[in-house]
Chain A
Amino acid sequence: MAESAKRRRGWRKRLGALARFTGALVIVGGLYSVFSPSLYAQEAEDNAVDSDVVKGQELYDTSCISCHGDNGEGVDGRGPSLIGVGTASVEFQVNTGRMPMAAQGAQAPAGDPSFTEEEAEWIGAYIEYLGGGGTVPDDLAALVENAEEAAGGDLYRVNCSSCHGYAGGGGALSSGAHAPSLSGTTDEELYQAMLTGPQNMPVFADNELTPEQKADIIAYVQYIVNDDADPGGVFSLGRFGPSTEGVAIFLVGITSLLLATLWIAGKS
C-alpha cells in the first residue's frame, strides 16, 4: 500500500515537472516571439504559400530560369537579366506568347500565351520583387479616353511608322527581325511595349513620351488599325503599300482582261 502510494506520488511529481517545463517553454517562446520583431519573422509572413511572389517564383523556376538564370540575373548568350524590367515587360512578353521562347532566334514571335493572365501577374510580381521596374498606370483607360488622335498621329508617324509602317501593318528589320503588325493589340499591350521596348523595339520611357503622349499614340493606333471604317474598298490589300497594289493589277486587272481578249477574239 505504502509502496504503491509512494510510487504514485513519484509519477505525479514527474508529470508536474514536465508540465511546468512545458509551460515555461511556452511562456519563454511566446515572449520571445512577441518581443523580438526580427527580419525572419517578417519573411515568414511574406513567404506564406499563397503569396503572388512565391507562386510567381515557382513558375519562374520551371519556365524561365534556364535562360534568365537563378534570381533573374540572366545567362550569357541565352537571356538578359530581368532585374529592374518590371511587371509591364513581363506581362507584355508572357501575355502575347512571346515568352517563354520556343527556341533561340532573331526575335521571339508572338503566339498563343503559355500562361493565364493571372499567372503572368504572379511572374510579374516575382520579377518586380527582384528589382522594381515599369508598370502600366492604373488610370490608363481614362488617359486613352481623353487622348487626341491627331496628336497621336503626329507622334506615331515620327516615332513608330519607320518600323511599324504607316498603317501599323509592321515591317521588316535586318537579319530576320521584324516589327510586328499592330492589329488586334490591346491598349495595355501597346502601353507596355512602348514603356519597356520588347525584343528589337527601343524603349520610350516617360521622359521621352509622357504617359499622356503614349495614350495619344494608343488612341491613334486603335483608330487606324482596329476602328477605322476603311474607306475605299472591301479589301485593304494588307496595307503593305504599293507592292500589293502592283500584284493586284496583274492578278486581277490584267488576268481578267486577258480572259476578255480570249473571249472577244474567239467570239465571232
Chain B
Amino acid sequence: MKRRKGTNENLMTKAGGELDDRFKLAGPARVLMNKVFPDHWSFLLGEIALFSFILLLLTGTFLALFFEPSMTHVTYEGSYVPLQGVGMSKAYESTLNISFEVRGGLIMRQMHHWASLLFMAAILVHMMRVFFTGAFRAPRETNWMIGILLFWLGFFNGFTGYSLPDDGLSGTGLRIAEGMTESVPFLGPWVSAALFGGAFPGDEVIARFYILHVFVLPLALLALITVHVGLVFAQKHTQWPGPGRTEHNVVGYRMFPNYVMKQVGFMLLVFGVVTAMSGLFQINPLWMFGPYEASVVSSGSQPDFYVMFMDGLIRLFPAWEFRVPPYFTLPAVFWPGIVGMGLSVLLPLLYPLLERRFTKDRGHHNLLQRPRDTPARTGLGVMVIVFWVIGVVSGGNDVFAQAFHISLNAMTWGGRIGIVVLPIVAYYLTYRFCLGLQQHDREVLAHGLETGILMRDPEGRFYEVHQPLVEPDERGHTELEYSGATVPKKMNRIGVLEPAQRGFFKSIEEPSDEDGRRDQIETGNKR
C-alpha cells in the first residue's frame, strides 16, 4: 500500500479547506471557536440544565420506543406478582413493562425522571444567579424572559410526563389539574371538557398529553433553548467586574480549545451524576401506586418538587368560596391555582421592565453587580425564595408532619402565617446584611485588612493592626474607591483580585504558560 504524503496537520488543513469550499464554514466557525467564556463557576449553572435536556431527549427517545399512550383496558400479565390479573390501561401496562421486562428499561425511566428533576433544579439555580447579579438588565431582558418561559415550558412538560404512566399518582395529579381548570369562571368547564374529551378522566387525555410531552413542548423547549444560547453568543457573556474588565470586553478562555474541553468534561459529569443517582436512588416506584382509580388517593401523593409550590399554595389558602347564585361558584382553588400561577408567570417575566421603571436605569450593562451592592433587589430575591420554599414545604406538609412528628394542623397554620410574615422578615434581614457587607468593604478600602494582630500601646490602649491596601496618608487612611469588584478580606488574598487560583482540592500554583494565557476580545463601540 502506498503511503500518503504529508503530515497530519496538512491533512487536517486540506479536509478543512474542502469542507469550507462546500459549506462556507470558516466564518461562523471562527466566531464560534473564538468566543470567550468568563471563568467563574456561576456561569456554568445554565449548562447543567442544557446537558440534562440533552439527556432527557436521549432517554425519552428510548422510553418512547416502548411506551404505548393508550387508555385501552387490559389485564396485566407481566412479572410483577402483586399486579397480576389486575385491570389497567395500556399506558400503565407498558410503563410496568418498561420497568420490569425491557432490558435497561428501569434505569432509563429513572434516568429520565432524575434528569427532569435536575433540569428544573438547574434552571432555578441558574435563574437565581442571573437575578442576583443583575445579568438580566439591558440588553438582556429578552433572554431573561425566554428563560422564564423555558422554566414554565419545563414545568408543563414535566407535569405531562408525570401524568403519562396513568398510575395512581398520575391520575391524582391530573385530578387536581382538572379541578384547577374547572375553577375558572365560565370558561373552566369548557376547557376541561375539551382537554379530557368529556368528563374526567375519559379515555383521551393520555394520548393528548403524550403528543404534548414528546412533540409540542420539547420542540418549543428546543427552539427557545436555541434562541436562549444564540442570544448569549450574540450579546456576549456578562462578567464580574475586576482588573482589566470593562463594559466592552470579556475576559476568560476561548471556546476552542480550552472551553470545549471543559464543557465536554462537564457534560459527561452531569450525565454521570444523573446515572449514578438513577442507579442508587429509586424514583417513583409506580408499580406500588397501582392503576389509577378515582376512588384511590394514597397519602403522600405529591407532585414533583417544581410543581409542589402550587400544591402548597392550594393547601395553605383558606377555603373561601365566592358564590353568585345561580350563575357560578368561584371555588377557593381559583385564587392560589389560577391567579397564583398567573402571577408566578407574569411577575418574573416582567421583572426586568419593572426594575427599569423603578430604578430609571436605562443604560446597557455587561458588568455584573455583586448582590450586596443592590440590597433592594437581593432582598426581593430572598423574599421570593422564602415564599417559594414555604410553598414547597407546605406542598409536602403531610410528609413533614409525619417524618418530624409535628401536628399537620400546626404545619398548615405555620405555613399560612409564615408565608405572609417570613418573606418580609427575610427582606429586612437581607437588606441589613447587604448594607453590613458594603460597609465592611468600605472599611477595608479605607483602613486596610484586619490582621488579627492585637497591639497595646504605652497608655494601655488595645488596637488591631491593619494592613493598608496602598500607601496610607499620615492619618492611616487610604483613598481607594469601591469599584464593584471583590475586596480582599484576608492577608493571603491580597493581589489575587482575579479569582484565578489554580487547582481545586489543593493549590497547584505555577507560572502561567502561553497556552493558559487569558484572552480578551473587544466588542467594539469603545468609548
Residues of A that sit less than 8 Å from B by CB: 106, 149-150, 152-154, 157-158, 161-167, 169-176, 178-179, 220, 223-224, 230-250, 252-254, 256-258, 260-268
Contact = CB atoms under 8 A, between A and B. Distances in A.
A253 B118 contact: yes
Contacts of B399: 172, 240-241, 243-244
Contacts of B293: 157-158
B420 interface: no
Which residue, of B99, B122, B253, has the highest number of chain A Cβ atoms within 10 A? B122
23 contacts: A153-B83, A157-B290, A162-B297, A165-B299, A172-B402, A173-B408, A174-B408, A175-B409, A176-B409, A179-B299, A230-B282, A233-B283, A234-B279, A240-B396, A242-B305, A245-B304, A246-B305, A246-B308, A249-B118, A261-B45, A264-B41, A264-B266, A265-B40
A262 to B, nearest CB: 5
Contacts of A267: 502-504
Interface in B285-306: 285, 288-290, 293, 295-305
B501 interface: yes
B114 A253 contact: yes
Which residue, of A149, A173, A176, A253, has the highest number of chain B Cβ atoms within 10 A? A253
Interface in B67-98: 81-86
A175 B269 CA distance: 46
B132 to A, nearest CB: 15
A169 B300 contact: yes
A262 B110 CA distance: 27
A215 to B, nearest CB: 14
Given A179-B299, A242-B302, A246-B117, A254 B122 contact: yes
B277 A172 contact: no
B23 interface: no
Interface string B249-280: 00001000010001001100110011001111
Nearest to B119: A249
A209 B114 CA distance: 40
Contacts of A150: 81-86
Contact of B82 (A224, A231, A239): A224
Given A157-B168, A243-B399, A253-B121, A237 B407 contact: no
Contacts of A178: 401-402, 405
A237 B114 CA distance: 13
Nearest to A167: B288
B150 interface: no
Contacts of A173: 408
Given A172-B299, A243-B308, A236 B408 contact: no
A232 B408 contact: no
Contacts of B446: none
A242 B398 CA distance: 12
A166 B300 contact: yes
Which residue, of B82, B99, B117, B262, has the highest number of chain A Cβ atoms within 10 A? B82
Given A157-B168, A173-B408, A245 B121 contact: no
Contacts of A106: 407
Contacts of A231: 99-100, 106, 282, 285
Contacts of B282: 230-233, 235-237
B44 interface: yes
B383 to A, nearest CB: 20
List 10 tightest A-B contacts by C-beta distance, closest first: A246-B305, A171-B299, A243-B396, A176-B407, A166-B298, A172-B401, A233-B282, A265-B41, A232-B282, A261-B44
Nearest to A245: B283
Given A256-B273, A257-B48, A161 B299 contact: yes
Contacts of A176: 406-410
A242 B41 contact: no
A232 B169 CA distance: 18
Contacts of B396: 240, 242-243, 246
Given A167-B285, A248-B277, A258-B125, 15 more contacts: A150-B84, A157-B298, A158-B296, A162-B298, A166-B301, A174-B407, A175-B408, A176-B408, A232-B106, A236-B282, A254-B121, A256-B273, A264-B44, A266-B504, A267-B502
A219 B490 CA distance: 65
A236 B403 CA distance: 15
Given A158-B295, A233-B110, A249-B121, A172 B398 contact: yes
Contact of A261 (B41, B279, B280, B395): B41
A225 B177 CA distance: 31
A253 B117 contact: yes
B290 to A, nearest CB: 5
Contacts of B82: 149-150, 152-153, 220, 223-224
Contact of A260 (B269, B284, B289, B295): B269
A253 B111 CA distance: 12
A266 B281 contact: no
B314 to A, nearest CB: 16
B81 A149 contact: yes
B516 interface: yes
Interface string B368-411: 00000000000000000000000010011111111101111110
A157 B395 CA distance: 22
Given A106-B407, A224-B82, A254-B121, A264 B265 contact: yes
A238 B278 CA distance: 16
Contacts of A170: 299, 402
B125 A165 contact: no
Contacts of B499: 266
A252 to B, nearest CB: 6
Contacts of B204: none
B454 interface: no
A249 B266 contact: no
Nearest to A166: B298
Given A175-B407, A260-B269, A235 B281 contact: yes
A256 B106 CA distance: 23
A268 B253 contact: yes
Given A171-B402, A248-B277, A266 B121 contact: no
B187 interface: no
A37 B116 CA distance: 82
A156 to B, nearest CB: 9
A171 B300 contact: yes
Nearest to B258: A268
A106 to B, nearest CB: 7
A30 to B, nearest CB: 66
A24 B405 CA distance: 74
A161 B296 contact: yes
Contacts of B42: 261
Nearest to A238: B403
A48 B346 CA distance: 82
B401 A252 contact: no
